[in-house]
Structure 1
Amino acid sequence: MSITATRITAAPAAVTIISADRTVTDWASRYFGPWWGAASVDPATVCAGTVIAADVDLDAYMRLEEHVRARPHTSHIYAKAPALVATAADGTITAVAPGQQLAYLSEPATGRIKVAGADPLQVSLATARIARDAVRGQLLRDGWTVLHASAVVMGDRTWLAFGGKGAGKTTTALTLATRCGAHLLANDRVFARADAFGNVTVLPWPAAAAVGLGLLDGLGLYEKVTARLDAGESLHPTQDERVTAALCTGNLSPLWDGGRELKAQVFPDQFESWFGLTLATQGMATDLLFPQIAAGAEPSVHDTSPSLGDSDFMQGATEDRYPDILGLARGVTAGGNADARDHVRGLLRLLPHHAFTLGHDHDRAADFLTKLAAA
């Protein structure tokens, strides 16, 4: 069985994934390729830096599970599943998620990580998640921070849309990308770093994008989705089955599970291949947007002075649902370096701020945002 390797790069950060199962490296290439660099490399050349060895190997998983259970360990919720974690005296971390039949062996001091599991899809998902968090750790140590924002690039301008859940970040970014000719940089968060010239550079955060059913329909994307589904393709496997059923039956009313809206989960590359959008790989922040969505509202500018708050920075050591059980942050404090974060905050405060309300009429929203972009 041949070994394949994919190297992922973002600014100065790099992680290499090697596996005897091509599903794993192909998944990483697809997932990271549109926004970060993802390229096949000769496995024989992989000798330095952070390396993730991923195996679809039930026996290897069982050996690691036995190792954890035989030693003192702690319990965590990791990727929405119970996980057991044991740490050796030399700092080596072994973790298992029995419900997913996934095991991890991490050597934070060397950057070597092993992933083993029974199912190729689960191993692929886990490996991509760990690779992203390993890149995140490297970027945070290099002075980057993470903003809770959507972003688009329009010519020489990069617009960042801020707000809590439901504020309209995704609606604003996708309307600009589908109707106003912008290049999509990020759906929900971006890496940001201040440079020596007083600019803030932003990079994408690759992730499956959560898009509401009503927004898909309003932006004219629903028929493109159903055509792909009818052809046998699929959206991201983390998508709730109720969303898949609704898409297949044409029921585009918002779906709720308690107080959480269930949304379609779009692969990064599907923005290009399914929706015909273009993706930006970096930008330099020029404008801050603070949208609000109100049913029946006429698009309008607010006469207010919005400002960034702590909630506009993702301040976990790793992405929210994934506590750093494997030591990938390697000493980085929550949210990265506080001075770097404050520097970014101070520079962003100097940029033009635009607060506005959008309704559910996406044609009017597109006209409004087009005029705002030209102003």
Structure 2
Amino acid sequence: MTHATRISADHHAVIVTSNAGFVTDWMLRYFGPWWHATSTTDADQAERTVRADIDPETAEMLTRSVLDAPHEKAEYARAPMVHTRTPEGAVRAAQPDQQLAYEARPDGTVRIVGADEVAVALAAARLARESVRGQLLTDGWVILHASAVTRGNGAVLLTLGNKGAGKTTVALTLARQGLGLLANDRVFVRAAVDGTVSVLPWPSAAAVGLGLLNALGLYDEVRARFMAGDRLHPTQDQRVTDALLAGKRTPQWENGRELKLQFFPDQLATMLQLTLTTRGPAERFLFPQITPNAEPELLDDKRMLREEDFFTAASEDRYPDVFGLLPDNGGAGLRTAFGMLTGLPRTAFRLSHDAAANTDFLKALTAEE
């Protein structure tokens, strides 16, 4: 039996099919909250398809064909990958450590085979997102490294900053106060003919530190659900899982990098009780900084939008375009979107580690007139 899920964003789509309902159900919960994902019986509704099957024998055969041919090495989704191109123009790839093999054909279809249903589902979600991403980039959308929330009027507040500046803190604090959560790490943006800039979410697992979860008053509910069997995203580091099992509320670190809980997109609604939104026009930039023992306050900071805040094929660090799913221009709309976004109002401010003070400050800062 073949199962199928159709995933679409801004009139672009991909269909994921599988011999395992587990895989297509995964697509529903991963994409459904932010992109439109629905079960379908017609696998011909989209120009692009991802076929993701549990098939260990074919995975082994494809892996061997890659290893036996001249091949290149890459890191894809933080795991080693080998890949080669066939005389017919198809890209074959394998991640032997994960027992996964791939074949991307020139017509835009991708095949994934593997032995483990979770590994296959993870790979299918990544490649389905890359397929839609390629279509969006071709259509003038570009990717901005920002978190985003929507106000009651639908307008989008974009939060930018370097790693650790507080993008997630701002987004989750405001979402806890009733604003819609549109994205926690990346967004698609595109200049519209009316002079506005439209914003779409980038579906992904949401990373939230234990300390922030506790400060926002969400820790007890999440741990209770976890202990009752509601599992988080499998990319979560086992040390974070162990800390949650032990009831630890403090941040977990490794070499200066915080290890965080990883939530499925649908769990932001079911476990964190947040409202997820799917689109809106950009209204304002927020540029936070966090100083642990300081009072929240406005800053006279000159930080502006920079071209480095955008993701391009050249700067992508997690998902290099091994399968040729992205356009050669890397996002033709970057310069137009950049020009319009630089004209948006901006507000720079300092937050502290006092969640209540941060909440009061951000509520006043973003109150609608």
Bin of the TM-score, shorter chain as denominator length: over 0.9
User: One-letter code of the match for 2:18?
Assistant: S
Deviation at 1:319, TM superposition (A): 5.2
Contact 2:56–2:113 (8 Å) recurs in 1: yes
Deviation at 1:111, TM superposition (A): 1.2
Q: 1: CA distance between counterparts of 2:193 and 2:296?
A: 38
- Residue correspondence of structure 1 range 192-231 to structure 2 within 5 A: 192-231=189-228
Deviation at 1:12, TM superposition (A): 2.5
Q: TM-score, normalised by structure 2?
A: 0.97
Q: Which position in structure 2 is the counterpart of 1:60?
A: 58
Q: 1: CA distance between counterparts of 2:173 and 2:45?
A: 44
Q: Which position in structure 2 is the counterpart of 1:170?
A: 168
Of 135, 138, 141 in structure 2, the residue corresponding to residue 141 of structure 1 is 138
Cα deviation code 1:300-343 (max 9, x no counterpart): 0012332111221112369531211111114243xx12xx2121
Cα deviation code 1:176-197 (max 9, x no counterpart): 001x210000001100000111
Contact 1:318–1:324 (8 Å) recurs in 2: no
Deviation at 1:228, TM superposition (A): 0.5
User: One-letter code of the match for 1:171?
Assistant: T
What secondary structure does 2:133 align onto? helix
Q: Which position in structure 2 is the counterpart of 1:241?
A: 238
Runs of at least 5 residues in structure 2 that lack an aligned partner in the other structure: none
Q: 1: CA distance between counterparts of 2:325 and 2:41?
A: 25
Deviation at 1:171, TM superposition (A): 0.1
Q: 2: CA distance between counterparts of 1:366 and 1:220?
A: 12
Q: 2: CA distance between counterparts of 1:330 and 1:140?
A: 7
Of 240, 258, 265 in structure 1, the residue corresponding to residue 255 of structure 2 is 258
Contact 1:133–1:319 (8 Å) recurs in 2: no
Q: Which position in structure 2 is the counterpart of 1:364?
A: 357
Runs of 4+ in 1 over 6 A off after TM superposition: none
What secondary structure does 1:355 align onto? strand
- Residue correspondence of structure 1 range 6-45 to structure 2 within 5 A: 6-43=5-42, 45=43
Matched residues, number: 367
Root-mean-square deviation (CA), in Å? Answer: 1.3
Q: Tell me: CA distance 1:4–1:296, structure 2 relative to 1, closer, same or farther (3 Å).
A: same
User: One-letter code of the match for 2:217?
Assistant: G
Q: TM-score, normalised by structure 1?
A: 0.95
What secondary structure does 1:371 align onto? helix
User: One-letter code of the match for 2:319?
Assistant: Y
Q: 2: CA distance between counterparts of 1:99 and 1:332?
A: 33
Q: 1: CA distance between counterparts of 2:356 and 2:240?
A: 25
Of 99, 102, 114 in structure 2, the residue corresponding to residue 101 of structure 1 is 99
What secondary structure does 1:55 align onto? strand
Of 100, 115, 120 in structure 2, the residue corresponding to residue 118 of structure 1 is 115
Runs of at least 5 residues in structure 1 that lack an aligned partner in the other structure: none
Q: 1: CA distance between counterparts of 2:329 and 2:268?
A: 32
Among all aligned residue pairs of Structure 1 and Structure 2, give the percentage whose two residues are the same amino acid.
50
